[in-house]
Amino acid sequence: MTILLATNNAHKKRELAETFPDNTVLTPEDVGVAYEYDETGITFFENSYGKARGLWAFLHGETLPGVTASRVAPERQLANLTVIADDSGIVVPALGGPGVYSARYGRDAGVATDAERTLHLLSQLGGSTEREAYYVCCMVAVYGENRFAVVQEQWDGVVAEAPSDGKGGFGYDPVFFLAEFGCTAADISSEQKHAISHRGKAARAIARALNGIAPLDSSPKRA
């Protein structure tokens, strides 16, 4: 199966490619498309569906609100590809977030990088003993006009008191402590992470859903 991701996030592409080594995982850049989606949703589903639906519609000649897209390479046959997007984030109940705003957390305070966002999270949590946290991944696959599959998965952990020196993962992984491993998500191998993470579980669930769907003509139907 060839999967077209509605993102150019190299970390997400790598994780999905490692989760599905027998499949081809492409990004818009890989197929000569410049694509951006303005994530204004207040739920993980709104953002993931918007990204996937927006790219699928563009490949079929329609530009939806919130989408900025153009072809930057010679046109190629892409209309029959399934488009997959996910929206993910970390939720710390004691903070009431950051949730869907995880990638933009602390922006008003000048925070710009993953490492800075992680430190901002720790500063907001302070010395609180309520450090439970969980990652959420909502993944949507659009495979036809008004045809899509959606799954949402969760990965439980706690927020460590300081970032680890682990080099794996990305985002908030250096402070996402896993009791069963005695270390953070940044310290385990990619294989271990994919087996238990929110994105790994969501990707396998989406694959099962798509495998149960009969092939169909994905051309949009107009009234």
Active site residue 217: no
Rounded Cα distance between 209 and 141, Å, is 9
A 10 A CB-CB count for 77 gives 8
CA distances from 138 to 49, 84, 177, 189, 223 (A): 9, 11, 21, 23, 31
Torsion angle of C-alpha atoms 92, 98, 99, 104, degrees rounded to 10:
-150
Q: Is the dihedral of CA 103, 175, 166, 86 positive or negative?
A: negative
Whose tokens are 């993980």? That residue is 44
Whose tokens are 């699928």? That residue is 56
**Do residues 36 and 65 lie in contact, with contact meaning Cβ atoms separated by under 8 Å?**
no
Q: Cis peptide leading into 98, omega within 30 of 0? A: yes
Tell which residue, 162, 182, 165, 167, has the closest CA to residue 121: 162
Q: Considering 22, 30, 86, 87, which one is annotated as catalytic?
A: 87
CA 154 and chain centroid, separation: 12
Active-site annotation, residues:
87
